[in-house]
Structure 1
Amino acid sequence: MRGQALFIAILLTSAVAAQAPQSPNEAAQTRMATPPPVSGLNYANQVGSEVQRNYLRGGLTYSTSYIDNYFADSGSAPIAETTFSILPMIALDTSTEKQHAVVTYSPGFTFYRPSSGLNEVDNTAAADYAFHLSAYTTISAMERFEDSSLPFSPTDSSFGGISGLPVSTTPGVVPPFAKRLTNLVSAEITMQTGLNEMIGASGLATVLHYPGSSPTLGLYNSNSRGGTGFYDHRISSSQYVGVTYQYLDMLTSPPDGESATKTSTVMGFYTIYPRAQLSLSVSGGPQRYQVTETASPSFDAWGPAVSASMGWQTGRASLAASYSHSVTGAGGLIGAYHTNSANAAFHWQLARTWTAGASGAYSINKSVSALLPTEAENGHTIFGSATLQHPIHGQVSLAFGYDRVHQSYGQVAAIAASPDSDRVSVSVSWNFQHELGR
């Protein structure tokens, strides 16, 4: 209800606000940017010829990899696996003066040796849509879906990314052998109500579901929903300040009860664009959280929430990084946690035919109270990845990859005894692209 009331208030405010000029030239000169702390978009990670619009793209990738420890269940000995994957992909990008839509879908067929019983079919999809109702009002929406049991993503980073938004749900554990369904949906409306004033509202919903629970001991189905409202003021052509309010309701459902975490956060933010392709943002403010668990007294308190992010892009390189500290819930874990999370991704076109990438993530979760029974689920995750791509003939390209993940959670029996896993991979891809409108 709080999110609905806030959204209605924003709409009423915009209805009586002074209308900005509507001519195309004036709009281009006065239109405000939507700073990363209130934008639902990820930082750009494309370089060189990858930066394109209006296309139909597809392809087929064959990949083989070696995983030194495919996380044995219930703490038994580590299992080494060789995988063989076939990954079709199709992507459609359509853009006009008023709207922009991108849809990507990739199924995955993965075969294991020696454990052929792990053979699986994966599905990953992403959709982004933006529509300009007027020169100063934009509606956008996005969805991410994954159906997989791989601890490493079978697809490239275009399905994920780094944003300037603070972390909302607890960065969870990627379980072994277990099928998981994840779905994230969000929508946002932004309205520039004056020369230097903007308001907006957004909503999100996430679902994390484990169809088979036995291999995921210590992890449970969970979901979250919430809304955000913001006010944004342009100080100058390169500086923005504002304030946001966010309400989140996060629920984890173990077999013997429920664990609910609710947060209300007010944060002020500042964004500066020192250059056209560089942005720096910081946010901070108070956060109130309430935790309710079955057979335990409810717990509520106040604490600080802070975040920082940056994005930089040139024709040959892109860099994005973020840090967030806040109280989070859900993510497959019971309870609420003080979460510190950091992410970084770098993409570099070494030469005309060579592209390299690297990314990393770190998160640490500590229970908000030692009085809650979830203290044993404290833990941390470290992830790193590196890639190198090179076209070898026409539309055929070769890629090398390395991934490492460390997950330390004593309560999750499937990884408690062997928290580290490494993967090396080699992929051959055939891709085609057709520019729309030609």
Structure 2
Amino acid sequence: MMTPPPVSQDNYPVMVGEESRSNYLDGGFVFTASYVDNLLGIQNGKPIGDETYSFMPTISLDRQTPRQGESVDYTAGFNLYHNSSQLNGVNQDGIADYRLHLSKYAVLVLSDTILQNSNLYSQANPFVTGGGSTSAGSSNSVQIAPYANQLENWSTAAINYQYARNAMVGGSGSYAFSHYSNASKQAGLNNTGAAGFSAFYSRRMSSSQYFGLTYQFEKFVSHPIDTYTVSNTLFVFYTHYFTKSFSFSILAGPEQYTSWRPDVAKLAHWAPAVQGSVGWQKLRTNLTASYAYTVSGAPGLAGAYQSNMADLDGRLMFSRRWSAGVDAKYSYLNSIDAKSAQIAFTSGGRTISAGVDVQHTLTQRIAVVAGYQRIHEAYDIPAVSSFPDSNRAYFSLNYGFHRPLGR
């Protein structure tokens, strides 16, 4: 059996061509220069623009054996601002995954992602990109004040077991946090954390169709404005594989959530939850899209929100040396309780972002990428309320090496 996207704990891949290889060791150095016309969250009566420069050594490792596999993409260095020197700091962008086949039909999956002063709009290494999430869940990656100093981390552990020819069960646990600096809190931002676990049952109806159930428990917390939200969701899901690399999934079910503050009594409600995703991967073309309507927390905001989120990522390889990518994200957050909105100083808001890039491989060791990104954020917090739009143009140069493993 395949593990359907709603319960696989994987992201859809967006790399194309030779970049989708395995068993390799890569290393190198990435230099990025960019201009941002509005450093969201860093304002003094007017938008503040600045040039930024980053210097990042990188390493990527992928190793696969019949029983286990591990992959690591890690970039760390310095991010420097020409005028806004208070934002200078260490930049980290890392993803690690490990899979171990405990038996022929049981697999253990561990993963961890870390971002320090690196985010969805300005990641440390633009030559390493990731696709949209496939798994069911209430957490989201909405970024409030993306250029503020911050540290984020997501960790997941899962185990899947195929106990019959057409039946599989599994479970997972996760923990995530987002931490802003003290200076950033003055703009109305909050540190947030989320923890949860899930269990699923999957049934193969035919060679191309899967049906199942998944239960999820999640708890969101925020501070220094202390808020707490607990949610329980039961999803029914269906996945159809048009081909091995082209799938469609939909999930729907009831969600029960309870929210409270130290000085506000607990309030419990029911709401519908819906998610869907599409993944299409070819040698030269990759496209992923997802949508979610759930109750969730949001990094930087206190409380919990009824969220509408949509995500689109695509990449096209024109030739061995040229490729282009596009991404678009939309999120609308509405506070689930008027009293919590009053305490948290925000009723929610929306984020819209889009970006394009063109990548060119000059030689075996040298590649360049140029891109443009635009962000619109509308939230009633000081960090972004006055000047909600930001544009970023960037150019990156990568010098590196490639070594096959096990050949």
- Which TM bucket (shorter chain)? over 0.9
2:154 aligns with one of 184, 195, 199: 184
Amino acid in the other structure paired with 2:71: V
User: Cα gap change, 1:171/1:299 in structure 2, threshold over 3 Å: closer, same or farther?
Assistant: farther
2:316 maps to what in 1?
348
Q: What SS is found at the alignment partner of 2:18? A: helix
Q: What SS is found at the alignment partner of 1:333? A: coil
How far 1:353 sits from its partner (Å)?
A: 1.1
Q: What SS is found at the alignment partner of 1:249? A: strand
User: Cα gap change, 1:214/1:125 in structure 2, threshold over 3 Å: closer, same or farther?
Assistant: closer
1:206 equivalenced with 2:176 (yes/no) = yes
Amino acid in the other structure paired with 2:33: T
RMSD value, Cα: 1.8
2:111 maps to what in 1?
142
1:415 equivalenced with 2:389 (yes/no) = no
Q: What SS is found at the alignment partner of 1:73? A: coil
1:147 and 1:388 mapped to 2: Cα distance?
Answer: 25
Q: What SS is found at the alignment partner of 2:318? A: strand
2:286 aligns with one of 306, 312, 318: 318
How far 1:160 sits from its partner (Å)?
A: 4.2
Q: What SS is found at the alignment partner of 2:346? A: helix
User: After alignment, is 419-428 or 214-223 more displaced?
Assistant: 214-223
User: Cα gap change, 1:186/1:252 in structure 2, threshold over 3 Å: closer, same or farther?
Assistant: same
1:280 maps to what in 2?
248
1:104 maps to what in 2?
73
2:136 maps to what in 1?
166
1:52 and 1:126 mapped to 2: Cα distance?
Answer: 17
1:220 maps to what in 2?
190
2:185 and 2:93 mapped to 1: Cα distance?
Answer: 22
1:132 maps to what in 2?
101
2:151 and 2:290 mapped to 1: Cα distance?
Answer: 26
1:368 aligns with one of 333, 336, 347: 336
How far 1:290 sits from its partner (Å)?
A: 0.2
1:176 and 1:414 in contact (8 A); partners too: no
2:133 and 2:106 mapped to 1: Cα distance?
Answer: 21
User: Cα gap change, 1:413/1:74 in structure 2, threshold over 3 Å: closer, same or farther?
Assistant: farther
1:336-375: CA deviations, max 9, x gaps? 2110000110011011210111111110000112243247
2:185 and 2:191 mapped to 1: Cα distance?
Answer: 13
1:9 maps to what in 2?
none
1:300 aligns with one of 265, 268, 277: 268
1:115 equivalenced with 2:88 (yes/no) = no
User: After alignment, is 203-212 or 94-103 more displaced?
Assistant: 203-212
Unpaired stretches in structure 1, ≥5 consecutive residues: 1-31
Which structure is higher in helix share?
1
TM-score, normalised on structure 1?
Answer: 0.88
Amino acid in the other structure paired with 2:20: V
How far 1:211 sits from its partner (Å)?
A: 3.1
User: Cα gap change, 1:215/1:286 in structure 2, threshold over 3 Å: closer, same or farther?
Assistant: closer
User: Cα gap change, 1:173/1:45 in structure 2, threshold over 3 Å: closer, same or farther?
Assistant: closer
Misfit runs of 4+, over 6 Å: none
1:46 aligns with one of 15, 24, 28: 15
Amino acid in the other structure paired with 2:359: Q
2:7 and 2:136 in contact (8 A); partners too: no
How far 1:406 sits from its partner (Å)?
A: 1.2
1:177 and 1:215 in contact (8 A); partners too: no
2:122 aligns with one of 144, 147, 152: 152
How far 1:71 sits from its partner (Å)?
A: 2.7
1:171 and 1:363 in contact (8 A); partners too: no
Q: What SS is found at the alignment partner of 1:89? A: strand
1:215 and 1:247 mapped to 2: Cα distance?
Answer: 29
2:35 maps to what in 1?
66
Instruction: For 1:419-430, list aligned pairs within 5 A.
Output: 419-430=388-399
Amino acid in the other structure paired with 2:285: A
Amino acid in the other structure paired with 2:248: L
Instruction: For 1:397-416, list aligned pairs within 5 A.
Output: 397-410=367-380, 412-416=381-385
User: Cα gap change, 1:352/1:229 in structure 2, threshold over 3 Å: closer, same or farther?
Assistant: same
1:58 and 1:90 in contact (8 A); partners too: yes
2:376 and 2:65 mapped to 1: Cα distance?
Answer: 44
How far 1:82 sits from its partner (Å)?
A: 1.1
User: Cα gap change, 1:57/1:171 in structure 2, threshold over 3 Å: closer, same or farther?
Assistant: closer
How far 1:330 sits from its partner (Å)?
A: 4.9
How far 1:332 sits from its partner (Å)?
A: 2.5
User: Cα gap change, 1:158/1:352 in structure 2, threshold over 3 Å: closer, same or farther?
Assistant: closer
User: After alignment, is 215-224 or 120-129 more displaced?
Assistant: 215-224
1:206 and 1:295 mapped to 2: Cα distance?
Answer: 25
TM-score, normalised on structure 2?
Answer: 0.95
